[in-house]
Chain A
Amino acid sequence: EAQVTQNPRYLITVTGKKLTVTCSQNMNHEYMSWYRQDPGLGLRQIYYSMNVEVTDKGDVPEGYKVSRKEKRNFPLILESPSPNQTSLYFCASSPFAGVDQETQYFGPGTRLLVL
């Protein structure tokens, strides 16, 4: 089944404890992106990647890191989480060509609580 998977789905952590949220897609998509969703603010893009080893900042990159060493994986790293990073996080992927061009496929989300 074509899908975007995220792990973990739920995470409670404490301020300053480094964490990684994994994202993997099995559709051979070139483009991948991370968003956070907060009430009243909609989805805001954190980082995106056009291909392996190519990443760029979105609207709210502060406090986050990403890497794209393999085409299928795009982990989100919070090196020193803070309570204002408590949010619902979505990973998405999209192909560069074909009928699904520009269509983003979203993962199920990761709900993060930073205490």
Chain B
Amino acid sequence: AQSVTQPDIHITVSEGASLELRCNYSYGATPYLFWYVQSPGQGLQLLLKYFSGDTLVQGIKGFEAEFKRSQSSFNLRKPSVHWSDAAEYFCAVGSGGYQKVTFGIGTKLQVIP
């Protein structure tokens, strides 16, 4: 069975600092990997996704993520955080073909001035 682990439930960073949110997955074959962001009171929005090819994926809002098969990881990074990045971030794994998608429990990001 597929699963996702986001080990950090809550992270606080200073505005302008770099950010890395961790995601580890468990899946038998090549996974479809996603990062979604949820702003307070909103639905989820896709930041980026990885299916195949280049393991460094660029997304919206200046985010990027790197797929590391050997570590079963898909960590999300941003070089300089803005106050508007405060939100909850979800990593997800799927098998492709619109079968089940499994989400992690989320990491809540707080940005301090």
Contacts and interface: CB of A to CB of B under 8 A. Distances in A.
Interface residues of A, number: 26
B112 interface: no
A33 to B, nearest CB: 8
Contacts of A53: none
A96 to B, nearest CB: 7
Contacts of A44: 103
A96 B45 contact: no
B59 to A, nearest CB: 11
B100 interface: yes
Interface residues of B, number: 23
A106 B44 contact: yes
Interface string A39-66: 0111111001010000000110000000
Interface string B31-75: 010101000011111100101000000000000000000000000
Interface of B: 9, 32, 34, 36, 41-46, 49, 51, 90, 94, 96, 98, 100-106
16 contacts: A4-B43, A33-B101, A35-B103, A42-B103, A43-B44, A48-B98, A48-B100, A92-B44, A94-B98, A102-B51, A103-B49, A104-B44, A104-B101, A106-B43, A106-B44, A106-B45
